[in-house]
Amino acid sequence: MPRHNSPTTYGSVAKSFHWLTALLILSAIPLGIIANNVAHGITTGVAATEADIARAYLLFSLHKTIGVSVFFVALARIFWALSQTKPGLLNGNHKAEALAAETVHWLLYGSLVVVPLSGWIHHAATTGFAPIWWPFGQNLPFVPKEEHLAELTGTLHYILQWVLIGALLLHIAGAVKHHVIDGDATLRRMLPGQTDAHPTQKQPGHFLPFIAALAIWAAAMGGGAYLGWFPQSHTVETIELAEIEPLEISETNEDVASPTDETTTENSWQVQDGSLNIVVSQSGSDVTGGFADWAAAIAYSETADDTGKHGSVDVEINIASLSLGAVTDQAMAADYFNVGTFPTAQFVADLVAEGEQMIARGTLTIRDQSVPVDIPFTLKIDGDIATAAGELSVDRRDFNIGKGVSDEGTLGFGVSIQFNLTATRG
C-alpha cells in the first residue's frame, strides 16, 4: 500500500493519522466526562474520600495528556493533508449531502485543534490539580496564571467539545450510511489495504462548507453566551481599607495610663496594599492561592513597652475570598475549610523583637481550632511608611482540614502562609 494519497484512495500515512486520531479522541472524551463527574462528587461532598481524589487526579491527568497528544497529532495530520492529493467524494453529485459531509470535515479538523488547545490554555492558566504527564512543564508562553482567563478557556473547551462530539457522531453516521445503505467504498478506502474508488466529477468545493463550519462554531459560542456560561468581565478588586473600622486595642496593664489620642494615632498603622497567600502541595506539585478579602488592625511602636512588646496585630480573613485555582470549590467543602460553618479565620498576636528578628507571637484560628504560632517577619520603616513580609508553615491536620486525606503524596500536610503589606502611620 502506497504512503501517499491518490485521487482515488488514501495512503498509509493518512490512514494511520485517521485511526490514531480516532483512538485518542475516543479515549479523551469519556475520560474527561468521567473525571468531571468524580470532581463534581468531591466538590459537593458526595464523594470526597482519599480514593476519590486520587481517582480524579488520575482521570484528569490521563485526559489532559491524551488531549495534548490529540493537538499535536491533529497538527501533523493537517500538515500532511495539505501536502497530499485529497480523494474526492463518491457522492459529490448529491449537493446537500456532499456539502454536509465537507462541513463536518471542517468541523472535525478545526475542533481537533481548538478543543485540546483551549483545554491546554485552561490548564496553564489554572493553579494546580492533575498535571500533564510529560517532561516539558505545565505552563505555556504568554499564558498567565489568571482566574478569568482560566474560566474563559474552560468554558470554550466545554462548548467546543460538544461541537466536536456532534461532528464525530455525524461523521460516524455518514460512514455507516455510505457502507450499509449506499454500498459504496467511502469507508473501505480508509481501512487497511488498498481500495480504489473513483469520485464523482462534481464536487462541493471548500468555501461554503468552511463558512458553514464557522457559523456552527459561532452559534455554539453565542448559545453559551446567551445561557450565561461565559464568565463576566471584571476588574481586579482592591480592598478599600479606609472603609474598615480599626479594631480597638486596649492596654491590659492597669498601671499604665490610657494612651492619648495623639499616641494612639502615632502607633496605629493602616494597611494600604498587600497580599495574603497560601501554598499547598497536591500530587507533588505546589498550588498557590490568595485571599482577596482580609483586614488587619495594627498597632506598632519602634520602642518596646515595659513588657517587651512593640505592639499588636489582629487579622480577620474572609475564607470564601480564597482563590486556589482548580481546587477552589474543593477547598471550601466541609472536609476542608467548611466555609459554610466557619466563614472567617483570625490571627491575633503581639509584636515582639528577638535580637534583630521581629516576631508576631499569637494564635491562629481556622475552623474550630486555635493554634499558638510564631511568625517571623521582616519590617522596614521609612518615615510614615512601613513594609512587612513574613511566612509561616502550619500542618493542616492541626486545623482539621482534609482529615479524610491521610496520604501526603495526594495532599501535603504542610501549608505555607505568606504575607506582605505596605502600611502608613496614623
Residue 373 C-alpha from the chain's centroid: 32
Pinpoint the residues of the chain covered by CATH 2.40.128.110: 241-425
Task: Report pLDDT digits (tens) over 273-317.
Answer: 999 999 998 877 788 899 999 999 999 999 999 888 999 999 999
What was the pLDDT predicted at 411? 87
pLDDT at 242: 34
Write down the pTM of the prediction: 0.75
Nearest residue to 105 via CA among 220, 212, 203: 212
Tell me the pLDDT tens digit for each residue of 80-98: 999 999 999 999 999 999 9
- What is the sign of the dihedral through the CA atoms of 90, 91, 93 and 97? negative
What is residue 92's DSSP assignment?
A: T
Instruction: Write out the residue limits of the CATH 1.20.950 domain(s) in the chain.
Output: 12-226
CATH says 241-425 is which class?
mainly beta
The pLDDT, as a whole number, for residue 248 is 39
Cell of 390: 513574613
What is the per-residue pLDDT for 25? Answer: 97
Look at residue 79 and give its three-state secondary structure: helix
Band of pLDDT at residue 47, cut at 50, 70 and 90: low
Residues 53 and 109 sit within 8 Å (Cβ to Cβ): no
Class of domain 12-226: mainly alpha
Burial class (CB in 10 A: 0-12, 13-18, 19+), 182: middle
- C-alpha cell, 209: 462548507
> 312 with 299: CB under 8 angstroms?
yes
pLDDT tens for each residue of 120-152: 999 999 877 788 999 998 999 999 988 899 999
Q: Tell me, what's the pLDDT at 72?
A: 98
Burial of 230 (0-12, 13-18, 19+ CB in 10 A): middle
Give the pLDDT mean for 346-365: 95
Please state, in angstroms and rounded to a whole number, the distance separating the CA atoms of residues 250 and 247. 10
